[in-house]
Amino acid sequence: MIDTTDIDRWLAGYLAAWRSDDPAQIAALFTDDARYYIAPHREPLVGPAAVADWWSGMGESHLPWTFEYDIVAREGDLHVVRAITRYPEGTNGETRPTEFRNLWLVTLADGDRAREFIEYYVEVDEARSEATPA
């Protein structure tokens, strides 16, 4: 059995910050030297101010969304989170429902702030995936 106490608490804060886009709430989730990787082959955002600036600039707090997750592994302070994010009214200028499958690697420091956050995601096109055999 995986002890998910720390990551569940951190994710509750993450979701609250996502709903608010409040830079102070976002920054509180990360250590002073945190590295936040948002895409492969890109340098990470470093520090809570850089993360908060980027994140609040996305402006997703006004969009309806749902987020489901489970913790699939833990090794020390590293937590592996598998999740599904759904935007029923779309995102990034899209007007069709959008779904992302996420895999996050979250390394917590002292159980309450992320020292490193690595995000992998894939947009799922339900219409295409239903028409294409697996």
- For the record, the structure tokens of 131 come out as 């028409």
Task: Pick the closest to residue 19 from 51, 65, 50 (CA basis).
Answer: 65
The CATH number assigned to the domain holding 109 equals 3.10.450.50
Helix intervals (H) in 1-134: 5-20, 23-27, 48-58, 126-131
Read off the pLDDT of each residue in 19-48 and give the average, rounded to a whole number. Answer: 95
Q: pLDDT band at 4, cuts 50/70/90?
A: very high
Contact 45, 54 (CB under 8 A): yes
Give the span between the Cα atoms of 116 and 93, in whole angstroms: 29
Answer yes or no: is pLDDT of 127 > 70: no
Read off the pLDDT of each residue in 45-69 and give the average, rounded to a whole number. Answer: 90
**pLDDT tens digit string along 62-119?**
888 999 999 999 999 999 999 999 988 877 666 788 899 999 999 999 889 999 999 9
Look up tokens 């969304």; give the residue. 65
3-state secondary structure of 47: coil
Q: Which domain holds residue 35?
A: 5-131
The pLDDT mean for the chain works out to 89
Answer yes or no: is pLDDT of 131 > 60: no
Read off the pLDDT of each residue in 32-42 and give the average, rounded to a whole number. Answer: 93
How many domains does the structure of the chain reveal? 1
Task: Pick the closest to residue 51 from 79, 78, 77, 23 (CA basis).
Answer: 23
Contact 93, 109 (CB under 8 A): no
Task: Pick the closest to residue 71 from 105, 43, 47 (CA basis).
Answer: 105
* pLDDT (0 to 100) of residue 6: 96
Q: Which residue type, as a one-letter code, is found at position 39?
A: A
